[in-house]
């Protein structure tokens, strides 16, 4: 119960109802009345405490007269005494009103209510956690993808692994897609060279580079020693502003063409993938098992996203803005740290927390909702669940036990695993109450949607 009429406090404080801010239904305000005598007594106690350690020329330590100490530190002592009195009065008011306070608090001057003689009056404003009513979910439908790892998926993965281990041999023929080429090129813009537009002995694999398409495929059909002149139009939003939207002319010379030689799928190839005895059949089984783990993780992630979206859509409640502001600040700091790790100088880079308010709002709402569901339905993370999750994640590593040890030797990392288990528990709880519709999906389009599109 949350009653704004906070009464029957200790004799030295009083809390009274005050008008709430209509714009924030979670804000509560209490008026705190603190006797001036209480502040004066605490101020004197602090001054005596200061006196025991104050040093002043002409006096032994601890023997400085209180009058001098008060003259030097009286303002500081009174400020500290007042702060302690407000803190104590507010704590009592919160306990008396049974408020569940979210975030910090704000102290404001009193409005129309005058202070009586011999008392100090302030108004404390804070936010409370919302009351969340968990609704029925039986009309909610979640689509769960059903994906089979077939032989074709295994073979495609083997082909990818072969290409990753390819060696290249120089050939005397025109270049094709998949060949590695060594080229020289000179680029001009309106007849003038531009920065970054020329290179010597530049090496790349046709069709697998990050070059613009016109440039990437330019060597196709050319043999070593042959040249080609062509235009490249840069995108409107190209990273280099002086090139964005413009068309440059390039002269390219092919110096070497190398064809890929893929390794045979044999015992040596299997050993290169960690199969100690070189058993190719065992290698295929391991690849299939790894793909099945990836598919499961992708399905779980997709289902979790749907469940959380539905939960947020079905539960409408106000959110403490102090928590949103704090989360937005955290997201901004994380973004800045990420840019710094990528090599960018961020000392004077403005990263405004307001950019992250929408994501922060969602995170806080979801966090509060999950916490309420966990509390009501006792979905806390059990030790065996945490252990099972960590061991499942460890299966994708060369030394699974080392990863398990890495999690358990650090409380923060273990806490992160526990948080995932709690989320999984909430998803499981929700799926028991929702309608789950299975939908068959093709492996390739499900795992590589951008490529399939």
CA nearest neighbour of 260 among 386, 139, 169: 169
Residue 427 is assigned to a structural domain of this protein: yes
Q: Domain check: are 178 and 100 in the same one?
A: no
Mean pLDDT value of segment 350-367: 94
Share of the chain above pLDDT 90, in %: 72
Q: What tens digit of pLDDT does each residue of 287-322 get?
A: 999 999 999 999 999 999 999 999 999 999 999 999
Residue 272 is assigned to a structural domain of this protein: no
* Structure confidence at residue 10 (pLDDT): 34
| CB-based contact 194:243 (threshold 8 Å) | yes
pTM score of the predicted model: 0.76
Has residue 144 got a pLDDT over 90? yes
Residue 349 is assigned to a structural domain of this protein: yes
* Structure confidence at residue 58 (pLDDT): 80
Q: Domain check: are 256 and 282 in the same one?
A: no
Has residue 327 got a pLDDT over 80? yes
pLDDT band at 51 (very low <50, low <70, confident <90, very high): confident
Number of structural domains found in the chain: 3
CATH of the domain at 212: 3.10.50.40
Q: Domain check: are 176 and 204 in the same one?
A: yes
Q: Domain check: are 239 and 365 in the same one?
A: no
* Structure confidence at residue 238 (pLDDT): 85
Q: In 10 A of CB 401, how many CB atoms?
A: 10
Q: Domain check: are 329 and 394 in the same one?
A: yes
pLDDT band at 234 (very low <50, low <70, confident <90, very high): very high
**Mean pLDDT of the residues in the chain:** 89
Mean pLDDT value of segment 239-258: 93
* Structure confidence at residue 13 (pLDDT): 39
Q: What tens digit of pLDDT does each residue of 53-84 get?
A: 888 888 887 788 888 888 888 899 999 999 99
Q: Domain check: are 191 and 222 in the same one?
A: yes
CATH of the domain at 425: 1.10.3120.10
Residue 357 is assigned to a structural domain of this protein: yes
Q: Domain check: are 319 and 421 in the same one?
A: yes
Helix (H) or strand (E) holding 375: helix 357-377
Residue 134 is assigned to a structural domain of this protein: no
Show the domain range for 233.
166-261
Lowest model confidence (mean pLDDT) among 182-196, 333-347, 402-416: 333-347
The β-bridge partners of 143 are 437
Residue 120 is assigned to a structural domain of this protein: yes
| Positions of E strands within 12-113 | 15-17, 27-35, 101-108
Q: Domain check: are 297 and 388 in the same one?
A: yes
**End-of-domain residue from the set 99, 128, 157:** 128
CATH of the domain at 103: 3.30.70.1050
Distances (CA, A) of 337 to 329, 344, 346: 12, 9, 8
Q: Domain check: are 364 and 257 in the same one?
A: no
Kindly state the tokens that stand for 229: 């002149």
Residue 39 makes CB contacts below 8 A (sequence gap 6+) with 78, 81, 82, 85, 120
* Structure confidence at residue 143 (pLDDT): 97
Kindly state the tokens that stand for 437: 């519709």
Share of the chain above pLDDT 70, in %: 93
CA nearest neighbour of 447 among 145, 218, 161: 145
């Amino acid at each position: 119960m949350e009653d704004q009429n906070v009464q029957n406090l200790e004799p030295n404080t009083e809390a009274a109802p005050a008008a709430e801010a209509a714009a924030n239904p979670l804000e509560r305000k209490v008026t705190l009345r603190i006797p001036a005598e209480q502040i004066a007594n605490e101020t004197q106690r602090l001054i005596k405490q200061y006196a025991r350690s104050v040093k002043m020329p002409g006096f032994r330590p601890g023997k400085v007269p209180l009058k001098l100490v008060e003259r030097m530190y009286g303002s500081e002592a009174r400020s500290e005494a007042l702060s302690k009195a407000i803190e104590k009065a507010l704590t009592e008011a919160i306990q008396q009103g049974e408020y569940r306070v979210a975030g910090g608090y704000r102290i404001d001057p009193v409005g129309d209510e005058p202070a009586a003689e011999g008392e100090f009056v302030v108004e404390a404003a804070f936010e409370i956690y919302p009351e969340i009513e968990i609704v029925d979910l039986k009309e909610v439908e979640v689509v769960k993808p059903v994906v089979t790892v077939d032989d074709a998926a295994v073979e495609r993965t083997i082909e990818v692994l072969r290409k990753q281990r390819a060696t290249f041999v120089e050939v005397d023929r025109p270049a094709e897609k998949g060949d590695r080429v060594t080229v020289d090129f000179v680029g001009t813009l309106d007849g003038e060279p531009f920065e970054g537009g020329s290179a010597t002995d530049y090496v790349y694999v046709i069709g697998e580079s990050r070059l613009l398409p016109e440039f990437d495929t330019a060597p196709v059909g050319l043999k070593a020693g042959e040249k080609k002149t062509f235009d490249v139009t840069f995108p409107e939003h190209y990273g280099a502003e002086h090139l964005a939207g413009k068309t440059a002319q390039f002269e390219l010379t092919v110096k070497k063409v190398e064809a890929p030689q893929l390794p045979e799928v044999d015992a040596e190839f299997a050993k290169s993938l960690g199969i100690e005895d070189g058993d190719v059949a065992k290698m295929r089984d391991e690849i299939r098992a790894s793909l099945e783990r990836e598919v499961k993780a992708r399905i779980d992630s997709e289902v979790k996203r749907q469940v959380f979206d539905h939960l947020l859509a079905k539960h409408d409640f106000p959110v403490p803005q102090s928590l949103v502001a704090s989360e937005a600040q955290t997201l901004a700091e994380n973004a800045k740290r990420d840019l710094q790790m990528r090599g960018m100088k961020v000392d004077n880079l403005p990263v405004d927390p307001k950019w992250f308010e929408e994501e922060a709002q969602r995170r806080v709402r979801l966090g509060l909702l999950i916490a309420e569901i966990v509390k009501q339905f006792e979905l806390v993370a059990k030790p065996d669940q945490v252990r099972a999750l960590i061991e499942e994640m460890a299966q994708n590593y060369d030394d699974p036990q080392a990863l398990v040890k890495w999690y358990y030797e650090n409380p923060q990392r273990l806490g992160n695993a526990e948080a995932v288990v709690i989320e999984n528990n909430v998803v499981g709880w929700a799926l028991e109450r929702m309608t789950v519709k299975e939908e068959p999906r093709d492996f390739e389009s499900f795992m590589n949607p951008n490529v399939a599109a």
